[in-house]
Amino acid sequence: SESTEKANDQEAKEGLLYGYDQKQIRVEEQEYLKKQKTLEEAPEIEKSTEEIPEEKMKEMMQLVPVEDVYVQALKVKHPIID
């Protein structure tokens, strides 16, 4: 009787481990499939630098002095405060 209980315990432990492994595999597989699906559906957004005019590129790369950012932020009026 005692050996049967040990065998049952061992089977239960193996079953739990096996069940967990199966569950984990399914979760990982679903995540992989989601990633694949979004990659397939996503439109190609990437543009080469040749497609963007040099002037536009310089505009995008222009740096803004930190002082300007703070001054503009302080000038914003919030309707709740006024």
In the chain, what are the domain boundaries? 2-75
How many Å apart are CA 12 and CA 23, to the nearest integer? 16
Phi/psi for 49 (5° steps) reads -65, -20
- Give me the residue label for tokens 């740096």: 63
How many Å apart are CA 7 and CA 11, to the nearest integer? 6
The pLDDT, as a whole number, for residue 78 is 67
19-56 residue pLDDT tens: 556 676 777 788 888 877 777 776 666 666 567 788 88
Which residues have CB under 8 Å from 57's CB, separation 6+?
49
pLDDT at 82 exceeding the cut of 60: no
The pLDDT, as a whole number, for residue 62 is 78
Q: Please state which of the ranges 16-30, 50-64, 65-79 shows the lowest mean pLDDT.
A: 65-79
